[in-house]
Amino acid sequence: MDKHLIVLDLDGTLLTDEKKISQKTKQTLHKAKEQGHEIMIATGRPYRASEMYYKELVLNTPIVNFNGAFVHHPLDHNWETFHQPMEVGVAREIVQACHDFDFNFRNIIAEVMDDVYFHYHDERLIDVFNFGEPNVTTGDLRNYLTQSPTSMLIHADEEHVTEIRKHLSSVHAEVIDHRRWAAPWHVIEIVKSGLNKAVGIEKVASHLEIPQNRIIAFGDEDNDLEMLKYAGVGVAMGNAIEPLKSVADDITLSNEEDGIAAFLNSHLRLS
């Protein structure tokens, strides 16, 4: 069978609800590699929070982080790294707007690669973002954020998420793209306009000389929409949101039921 590129989202897709890779899924991916297929990760997480899974699967491909804002090859430093942060001035304008329009946000977080800035001190959020031991700074982002962030996050109560996103779309649509995290976190994630996982996957597929029609991508959330549309075969997990299932070429079992393994065993005739 011709070589395929298998693209894996992490949370809700490759990972179980306990943030583990099941033994069956791991064995299936290992078998796919043995048969000559390439496997890569495409995630909204920074690399420091996805490195453990990259190593656990013994991957040797580039990885897409921050939903396409950062693409690099952990094992090949000669591979041309892609990093497209949003303008720091735009980031500050967004923080100012959250105050001016009284959006009742809980916090704003900016990530400059492995430097994490918190607008307000929040031990619970700091614990969430502390994976990989980033440099953490707390204080008004309008004063402390001096570099262009790879991504920004607005944490708000559920009832305020829609109005904040509406403002972002009406005022900043030309310079940023934004998505919503899954429950229980009511978080709006913001990156530079035009960036998404498909942008990164295209760069990796070109490097590996694998055509678009032989890309298989798995996802479960709205930050996976572009990559499922881009892939030759876009597969939504059984636990995926309905908008993703509606654009997917196929739907597999959930992340708790080894959905990736079930699909690959059948589609690539691995078993």
Spatial neighbors of 178 by CB under 8 A, at least 6 apart, are 165, 168, 169, 188, 189, 190, 191
Do residues 44 and 67 lie in contact, with contact meaning Cβ atoms separated by under 8 Å? yes
Do residues 29 and 39 lie in contact, with contact meaning Cβ atoms separated by under 8 Å? yes
- 258 assigned to active site: no
At residue 1, the 3 state secondary structure works out as coil
Active-site choice (2, 9, 114, 115): 9
Pairing of strands 5-8, 38-41: parallel
> Could you tell me the maximum CA-CA distance found in the chain, to the nearest angstrom?
58
Q: What one-letter code names the amino acid at 95?
A: V
Q: Which of 260, 262, 255, 258 is nearest to 241 (CA)?
A: 255
Q: What stretches of 147-234 show up as alpha helix (H) in DSSP?
A: 158-172, 197-208, 225-230
Sign of the dihedral defined by the CA atoms of residues 185, 186, 192, 198, in that order:
positive
**Positions marked catalytic:** 9
